[in-house]
Amino acid sequence: MKRQFLFGLLILISFGSYAQSEKEDSLQMRAIYDEALVRGEAYSNLHYLCKNIGNRVSGSANAQKAVDWSFDLMENYQFDKVWLQEIMVPNWKRGSIENCFIQDADGNDIGLSITALGGSIGSNGVLAAEVIEVNSLEDLNNRDNKEIEGKIVFINQAFDQRFIRTGSAYGACGGIRWNGAAEASNKGAIAVINRSLSSKDDDFPHTGSMGYRDSIPKIPAMAISTEDSNFLSQFILDGNTKMSLELNCEMHPDTISYNVIAEITGAKIPEKVMVVGGHLDSWDIGEGAHDDGAGVVQSLEVLRIFKALNIQPEHTLRCVFYMNEENGTRGATAYAEWAKLNEDEIPWVAMESDAGGFTPRGFSVQADDIYFEAISEWMDLFNPYYANLLTKGHGGVDIGKLEDQGTVLIGYIPDSQRYFDLHHSDNDVFENVNKRELQLGAATMASLLYLIDTHGLPEKIKD
């Protein structure tokens, strides 16, 4: 009887301790959300980045302005350390000419909404040829070379609207942008036009990275808006195939840029580092508001919230603004290489925000099941904030470079339904970011990092 009583008492004590801890966590999270919503600075920081600096393609003057502003802002917050990490980045310039016309049956030129893909060569004057439509890279590769030779290839592959998470639709057709020029050139095409990777029908073309292969001649590559994709498809079906285009974009030698880094040094275990970040660069159309201005200001807001609430992390909390995610990931690679060589630190946890500043939904975890299960035990605490989704999956492009060092990779997941309406287009501007959604996201990120810092994660059992 005495033994049973003691066992029951231990259960009650354990349950009481757990309940007390959960209550403390809930109260601290409430304070984090209150700070972000009432006194948050992410939105005002994003306004400055978008309106005073603007888009920030790697190697540009605006990218350097963004570096300088970020460094000064981090120093003004008086974090424990702020520094720049020098890197070499690609230096592609769009140029001032982006024209594409199709000729109707009466010989009239009709302009189309196009934009050069990042990394494309110029056209070296006006290119005029027949345009041929294909529906996918597979369709292109199945065509006889004689059908393609000397023509402009139009790859008209639309988003699959059946995907609930729009990133899956983006991934399913992303290959047309990266591989389209090489595949078309391999069959003798002189240029390629891709349907914009967007879930919305509008007149805004969406840019993004494309690639060449050394063994295949380089040809100009551009994206056309979804509305004009539909128009062009019908135009070709009606027998109108004469097209002319001109681009004067070009690649320049690599140039110097920087990652911008700040940290609050851990009070008890400073050698274990929790990284939170996004990419400072953007494409050179729009303002890079959702991609990824939102991500960097949310990441910085995490550190500001910790400091404002006097939350002294046990582990080092570090914010990294990566440079050159869009067309090279040079910043992420440089940071990962530095982390690998820095024997005084352990890159313990890394979180990335690079999916827009929309309403928070939760997180994805790219790590062993033991970490996923540990994090899942805290998700009920996010129920009041409707941000309790936890999935196994991709952590992020930039933090992915840390994977081979055993880092637990966590991707912040906002609602995805509108992201690719704006992504890489002139529509990605500050006005299309909602203040409350942005600041809720920062609070959600800060809350999970607080829980990880406070309670730790289990040690991985070695094989």
User: Residues 246, 325, 326, 352: which is the catalytic one?
Assistant: 325
pLDDT of residue 461: 60
Q: pLDDT tens for residues 300-325?
A: 999 999 999 999 999 999 999 999 99
**What is the average per-residue pLDDT within 49-67?**
98
Closest by CA position to 209, among listed 111, 329, 112, 108:
329
Q: Which domains does the chain have, with CATH numbers?
A: 31-92+253-455 (3.40.630.10), 95-248 (3.50.30.30)
Closest by CA position to 157, among listed 196, 213, 115, 121:
196
Type of residue at 354: D
- Assess contact for 192 and 243: CB atoms under 8 A: no
The neighbour count for residue 214, using CB atoms within 10 Å, is 6
Query: How does residue 407 score in pLDDT terms, banded at 50, 70 and 90?
Result: very high
Q: pLDDT tens for residues 329-388?
A: 999 999 999 999 999 999 999 999 999 999 999 999 999 999 999 999 999 999 999 999
- Assess contact for 161 and 199: CB atoms under 8 A: yes
Point out the least confidently predicted range of 159-163, 172-176, 235-239, 404-408. 172-176
Query: How does residue 116 score in pLDDT terms, banded at 50, 70 and 90?
Result: very high
Distance of CA 390 to the CA centre of its chain: 19
Q: pLDDT tens for residues 190-212?
A: 999 999 999 899 999 999 999 99
Helices 294-308 and 61-76: crossing angle in degrees, nearest 10, is 10
- Whether pTM > 0.75 for this model: the answer is yes
Task: Mark whether 325 is an active-site residue.
Answer: yes
The span from the CA of 452 to the CA of 29, in Å, is 13
